[in-house]
Amino acid sequence: MSAEAPKKSDDKPQPPERSTVVLLFATAADTTWRMFVPTLGGALGGLWIDGAMNTEPIFAVGGLALGILVTAFLVKQQYSKVENAK
């Protein structure tokens, strides 16, 4: 006879836990791209359009504002995902 406890039908294998350092690094990397890529992309895209159309600050400021709005949405989405995981 074995000393093992009988397995229940709802016993599912649990995924291995990630270390805290890896989890913090992944969260920091995810937040970094969510903040800088849209902001810099919007600003650089606006500068490029301004250069092509000779409309100096208009599209650069608009692209920067759009990038900030996209950044706020992405970070809020990430925060909601973390809150729901608790």
According to DSSP, residue 18 is labeled P
Give the per-residue pLDDT at 30.
Answer: 87
Q: What is the pLDDT of residue 50?
A: 95
For the chain, the structural domain boundaries read 32-85
Q: Is the pTM of this model over 0.75?
A: no
Structural contact between residues 46 and 61, judged by C-beta atoms closer than 8 angstroms: yes
3-state secondary structure of 15: coil
Per-residue pLDDT of the chain (86 residues; tens, 9 = 90+): 555 555 555 667 766 666 888 888 888 888 899 999 999 999 999 999 999 999 989 999 999 999 999 999 999 998 888 788 76
Q: Kindly state the tokens that stand for 61.
A: 């400021």
Torsion of Cα atoms, 70 then 71 then 73 then 79, to 10°: 160
